[in-house]
Each structure stands twice: as structure tokens, then as C-alpha cells.
Structure 1
Amino acid sequence: MSRTLIPLQVSDTSTFAKALRAQLVAHQGLPSHLQMLNMVAKAAGHGNMQALRARAELNSAIIRVDEEDIISKRPEAVDEKHIERVVRCFDDSRRLLRWPSRRSDQILVLWILWSQMPASVAMSERDVSGLLQEKHLFGDHALLRRELYELGLVTRTRDGSVYRRVEQPVAMNLASALRRLASR
């Protein structure tokens, strides 16, 4: 039997709880399963459960759990061509020279930028922009900041004033690309 897991990240638990409570108070009676899912998604800042699912699918964060998948899980293979393409986008100082055209390359580039952000530190939008300006040479730090957020590598408050790097397991391609960049 297969089951779909959709991760939910909340930057501020207190705000989330208040928003969820307000929806529950306004709702008459006990909400159905779907209504409750929509309330949880709205409290987390998404339009509804479908929007949360779509964003998770876009970020490849949906996990389909199947017993056979768990048994046959193999380590991720490193794609050397992919890594070499991405490494060529950086100079010797690990600054991004150009924004790659392939989405898979863009994602690995964003992971590399993520790895250069401080962990467990609240940063203002200005701080994040300053850091990204130092890390790239093509002049569009706003694109990088938005893409980091859309990919779920950073979280931000609703008003965009505070950003935080989201800690997550590192993919094999990222580890290999970072080693390749460090050896240049």
C-alpha cells in the first residue's frame, strides 16, 4: 500500500497556531478531514491543501512511501556530467558567473549557494541580498533569493523581513560539486 507524504514547514509555530485556532473558532462544528487539511495549509501561509501539494511537487518534496521502495532503496548515483556543467558556472572564488538554463543545473547551483549561507542565523532581506551579491557576478540577486525561497532552501516571514536557511540532508551531487569547487 502506497501513501503520499507532504512535508509542512512552519517558520513561526505561534503564528501558525493562532491562525489555525482562528479558523477553528470561525468554523461551525467539527471540520471534515479535507476542511482540516485546508485549515492547516492556510495557517501555514498556503492558499489551501492543493496549493501546498503543488508547491511540494514543484520542489520535489513529496515523498511516496511504499514498502518495496524502502527495501530496494539504493544510494543516489553521482552524475559527473551534471556536476561538471554546474561547476563551469562558477569561477575559482566560487562565485556564480551565469544562471544556467537547465532547471536541474539551476537547482544544484541553488544548493551550492545554500551551502554558503550561515546555518541557524536569522538574516534580513538586505543581508541575504548582500551575501548573494558577493556570491554571483551576473547582477540578479533578487532572482537567486526568490529561487532559494521557492525551492524551500530558505524560509522567510510573510513580510519578507527575516530569512533563515532550512537545514536538510545534502544530496550526493551537491557534496561532489562542493568537493570539485574546493579543489579548483
Structure 2
Amino acid sequence: MSRVSIPFSAGDLSALARSLRDQLVQCDHTPSHLELLNMLARCAGHRNYQSLRAQAAAENRLHQAQPAPAPVDYVLVKRLAAYFDARGRLKSWPAKESLRETCLWVFWSRLPAKQSLSEAQLSTQLRTDHLFGDHALLRRELCDHGLVSRTPDGRQYRRVERQPPAEAAALIHHLRPRLAAAEGRTQ
């Protein structure tokens, strides 16, 4: 059986040393291994070593349950950001499909969540967020990529709630100060 590593940390080393010294002074014999472990655990704010071990195991299970964050290609994010002007508007439609799809997430992020929009409202929003003059293309692409749903008659549009890919989330975050500055807000 392999030994499980239990992390140990204390916010203040000096307080830890004082607490350990006080516990050792009160002990009238040479403490055993388990007694020393209990003393150290109490110095770090736990009831005893068993409590420290249970806390470490719970944290470990929690971290294993959460997926590791996807790595972000920041070179790609920088390249994509160049497609947007100082106010956060898309200057031109990228030639590569992969770049276009990531740029669409920026438009998706600017749509209100859990709210239906008419075709006119969506078109107005898209017109303000790009400079190349083809809001219909953007509306179609948002629907085709599953970022926006529309009713069969095409009158109502609604943002589809999804988690953006890592690069799209980084791009949205990177462009947020530009949009805030354009609207006269501070981040």
C-alpha cells in the first residue's frame, strides 16, 4: 500500500511554532508519533490529525471530480483580437472557418441570456458589433453553429446557453475592456 501524501500548511509560521511549543510544554512525557501528528494538526487549526486527513481526502476528491481547465492558445487569441477594433467590433470576416467560429462566440456573449429577440432586435445588435456590413451572414452563422436558436418562422431568436471553448472564452475576456471603454464604463 502506498503512502498518501497529506498537504500541511499554516498561515503564520510563528503562531504555529508558539502553539507547538505550548503543547509540548504541557506534555509531561515524550510524545508518540501520533501525538505529534495531532499537535501539528491542532497548530494548523484542525481538531486532530484525523480531521486534517479527512479534509485533505475531501479536497482531493473534489479536485478529481472537476475537469482540468483546457489549455488556451494565447497566440491564437492575440491573432483573433486583431480582427476587432478598439471598440470591440469585428472589422472583417476571417477567411478560415476555425477563426470565424471563435469570433462568433464574441457575438454570442453580447446577446442577452434567456431572452427572446425579434429578428430586428438581433440584427440591430449585430450591426453595432461589426464593421463589414453583413449582419445577415452573422445571424445565419450564429444559427448554423448552434449558438442561437430561432423559431421555424424566423421571427424569434434566442441565445443557446453553452460553455464557450477555451480560446473563445479568453477572447471574450480580452475584448471586454474594449467594449466597456466604448460604452463609457470602467472595468
Report the TM-score range of the alignment, normalised by the length of the smaller protein. 0.5 to 0.7
Secondary structure in 1 aligned to 2:91?
coil
Which residue does the alignment assign to 2:118? 124
- Contact persistence 1:89–1:97 (CA under 8 A): yes
Residue ranges of structure 1 left out of the alignment (5+ in a row): 1-70
The structure whose Rg is larger is 2
| Aligned counterparts of 1:118 and 1:181: Cα–Cα separation in 2 | 17
Q: Return the match for 2:144 from 147, 150, 160.
A: 150
Match of 2:30 in 1: none
- Number of residue-to-residue matches in the alignment: 114
Tell me if the contact between 1:89 and 1:96 (Cα under 8 Å) persists in the aligned partners. Answer: yes
Name the structure 2 match of 1:28: none
- 3-state SS, counterpart of residue 157 of structure 2: strand
TM-score by length of 1: 0.58
3-state DSSP of counterpart to 1:127: helix
Unaligned segments of structure 2, at least 5 residues: 1-64, 179-187
Deviations 1:37-61 (A, max 9, x none): xxxxxxxxxxxxxxxxxxxxxxxxx
Q: Which runs of 4+ in 1 moved over 3 A?
A: none
- TM-superposed deviation, 1:175: 2.1
Aligned partners of 1:107 and 1:84: how far apart in 2? 15
With 81-90 and 156-165 compared, the bigger mean Cα shift is at 81-90
How far 1:180 sits from its partner (Å)? 1.8
Task: Please give the root-mean-square deviation of Cα atoms over the aligned residues, in Å.
Answer: 1.8
- Correspondence for 1:80: 74
What's the counterpart of residue 169 of structure 1?
163
Specify the code of the residue in structure 1 equivalent to 2:87: S
Amino acid at match of 2:95: S
Task: Go from structure 1 to structure 2 and tell me whether the alpha carbon gap of 1:124 and 1:183 turns closer, same or farther (over 3 Å shift).
Answer: closer
Q: Distance in 2 between matches of 1:134 and 1:83?
A: 22
